Structure 1
Amino acid sequence: MRIRKALGDMYNSYMHTGLANKIGIAPLQSLLATISNVENMLRLSTVLGELYV
């Protein structure tokens, strides 16, 4: 659910260019951090599964 909100916030921000420029990738920071911390295949499969929930 957290990921959907972050992606929704990011999508909605592009509907308003000024807002998109202001917040940048902030709505996706937690998702990017999670991806960055993947250290093995088991964790990768878990993260990928969470992306599609």
Structure 2
Amino acid sequence: MEGLSNGGMLYHEVQESKLCAVHCVNTVLQGPFFSELDLAALASDLDHRERQMMLEGIT
């Protein structure tokens, strides 16, 4: 995150469309690093991996 400077101010996103997770993650990271599409893709990948692990555990 080096190179990001806002004069010592904390990063803040205006809440839009009830995207609490996006705003929470970006606030913790102090910048606009993720969009709702990014988090949706991550969630989909985790779901896929979980299904694979569950299937492997059954056999």
Alignment TM-score, normalising by the size of structure 1: 0.27
Bigger RCO (CA 8 Å, 6+ sep): 1
Q: Which one has a larger percent helix, Structure 1 or Structure 2?
A: 1
Structure with higher Rg: it is 2
